[in-house]
Amino acid sequence: MDLEYSAEYEQYRQDLRKFLDENKHRSPGMVGTAFTGEEREKIARDWQALLIENGYAARTIPKEYGGAGQEPDPLKAHIIAEEFARYRVRPGHSGDNRLVPTVLDLGTEEQKRWLVPPTLRGEMTWCQGYSEPQSGSDLASLSTRAHVDGDDFVINGQKIWTSGAQRADMIFCLVRTEPEAPKHQGISYLVFSMKTPGIDVRPLVTMTGEATFNEVFFTDVRVPTTQIIGKRGEGWFVANNTLKYEREGLGDPNQAESRLREVVAILERETVDGQRIMDNPVYRDRLLRLQGQVLAMKYNSMRILTSRSKGEEPGLPRWIVKLQGCELNHQLAGLVIDALGELGTLYYNSPLLRDRGMWQQRYMMDLGLIIGGGTAQIQKNIIGERALGLPKEPKYAEVSS
C-alpha cells in the first residue's frame, strides 16, 4: 500500500490547513460560551455556509440542492476528515448524515428540493423514529401503524430512544402500512413535521444525567401520502439505506485518533504522588494496546478508501467500522476514567473536575452507542451473515407451557 499523497493532494491539505488557521475561531466549538442558544445556532449555520462555500462540507451534493457541487474524490474527503479532527474543529456536515443521502438516493425530485437545501443549511433538523418498546434489536417487528384516509396516512403508535426529538423540526419514521404482509415487507418510511398535531414527546434522562433520548407517542397523526420516501411497503429497504450511513458515521477513525492524542495529553499532565500517570507501566501498557487498535482502525479506513477510489464495494472492512469504532471510543474514555482515580468519578461543578467533565460524559455516552445504531451483538451477526457468508443464527421456536 502506497501511503504517500501526490503533490496535488499535499497542496490540497496545505490549503485546508491555511483555511482552518484563518477561520477555526468561527467554528461553533471555538466561540466560547457567552452566547444564547439562538446566537449559537446562527454561528453554526454561518460556519456551515462558509464550509459549503469553500467546498469543505456537502462536497458532492449538487448545487441545485444547496451543496458544493464538486466531483466525488475519496482522498479529498479523507484529508478533510483528518485535518478537522487534528484541529479539533467541528467539521461541516451533509445536513443530517442519515436523512440527506437517503433522500438523494431514493427520494423524488420534489422531495430533494423540499428537504435537502434547508437541512444542509441547518434550518431543518431531524430525529429518527425507528425503535419501539418491543422492537429494538428486531426492528422489523415494529407495531406503529398507519392507514390511509383520503390523502393522508393516519399514524398511531409509539417510538422510544428517539435522539433529539424534543428539539427536532422533522422526523423520518418507520410505520407499518400493510399489516397482513410479512414483517419486512409491510413497512413504509415517512417524513413529517414534529409540530404535526397528535405528537407527544417525553424526554428520557440517561445515565449521563441529560435528556438526550425521548419517548414519542403518535395519536391520529395525519401525514400526506406524498411524504413517503420510496414506495409503500418498501420502507425496510429505505431504512437500511439510512442505517448504512449512520453506522459508518459512528466509527470515524479520525475522531478516534484525535481522542487518542487527548488521552496521551491527560496521561502526561496528571500525576499521582508526584509521578506522571504516563510513567506508570500498567497505564502505559493499556495505552499502547489502544494505540494499536486505533492504528488498525485507521488502516482499515484506508482499505475502504482504496476500494471506493476504484469504484468498488468495500465489503467486510465497511461492516466492521461501527462495531470497532464504538467499542474503541468507550475503551479510550475508560482508560482516562481509571487513570484519574477518584477524580474520574466527579460530576457537575467540582473544582477538581478535569476537562469540564468531558471524559465522564464520553464514557457514559459511548457505552450507550455500543447499543445505539444496532447493538454490538447485532453487528456481529450482520458481519457473520452478510460479510462472511456464515449460516444465520438459529431461531428457536417458543414452547408453550
Tell me: the pLDDT tens digits for 290-311?
999 999 998 898 888 788 778 8
Pull the grid cell for residue 205: 434522562
Distance between CA atoms of residues 76 and 8, nearest Å: 10
Look at residue 178 in the predicted model and tell me its pLDDT. Answer: 94
Task: Find where cell 393522508 sits.
Answer: 152
User: Residues in the chain with pLDDT < 50?
Assistant: none
- Encoded amino acid at 9, one letter: Y
Task: Find where cell 397523526 sits.
Answer: 221
Look at residue 136 in the predicted model and tell me its pLDDT. Answer: 67
pTM, entire model: 0.81
Q: Is 163 exposed, middle or buried (0-12, 13-18, 19+ CB in 10 A)?
A: middle
Which one of the listed residues 234, 246, 248, 257 is annotated catalytic? Answer: 246
Look at residue 117 in the predicted model and tell me its pLDDT. Answer: 95
- Sequence-ordered alpha helix ranges (H) in 270-357: 281-309, 316-319, 321-339
Question: How many CA atoms within 13 Å lie on the side-chain side of 103?
Answer: 28
Pull the grid cell for residue 180: 397482513
Look at residue 35 in the predicted model and tell me its pLDDT. Answer: 64
Q: Decide if 95 contacts 88 (C-beta within 8 A).
A: no
Look at residue 36 in the predicted model and tell me its pLDDT. Answer: 66
Question: Per-residue DSSP letters for 32-98?
Answer: -S-S-HHHHHHHHHHHHHHHHHTTSSSTTS-GGGTS--PPP-HHHHHHHHHHHHHHT-PPP--SSTT
Distances (CA, A) of 160 to 96, 105, 165, 179, 217: 19, 27, 10, 21, 9
Helix, strand, coil fractions of the chain, as percent rounded to 5: 50, 15, 35
Q: Is 64 assigned a catalytic role? A: no
Distance between CA atoms of residues 292 and 275, nearest Å: 25
Distance between CA atoms of residues 291 and 256, nearest Å: 10
Look at residue 206 in the predicted model and tell me its pLDDT. Answer: 77
Q: How far is CA 324 from its chain centroid?
A: 14
Q: Where are the beta strands (DSSP E) in 99-181?
A: 126-129, 145-149, 152-159, 170-176
**Nearest residue to 132 via CA among 144, 121, 123:** 144
pLDDT tens-digit series, residues 181-221: 988 999 999 999 999 999 999 999 877 777 888 999 999 99
Look at residue 93 in the predicted model and tell me its pLDDT. Answer: 61
Where is 362: in which H helix or E strand? helix 358-371
What is the SS3 assignment for 10? helix
Distance between CA atoms of residues 103 and 112, nearest Å: 6
Distance between CA atoms of residues 251 and 326, nearest Å: 6
- Sequence-ordered alpha helix ranges (H) in 107-234: 109-120
Look at residue 371 in the predicted model and tell me its pLDDT. Answer: 82
Q: Decide if 322 contacts 251 (C-beta within 8 A).
A: yes
Pull the grid cell for residue 38: 439562538
Q: Which DSSP state fits 105?
A: H
Look at residue 265 in the predicted model and tell me its pLDDT. Answer: 93
Bridge pairing between strands 152-159 and 145-149: antiparallel
In degrees, to the nearest 5, what angle opens at C-alpha 218 toward C-alphas 213 and 221? Answer: 135
Distances (CA, A) of 193 to 38, 43, 124: 20, 24, 10
Q: Decide if 178 contacts 185 (C-beta within 8 A).
A: yes
Look at residue 378 in the predicted model and tell me its pLDDT. Answer: 82
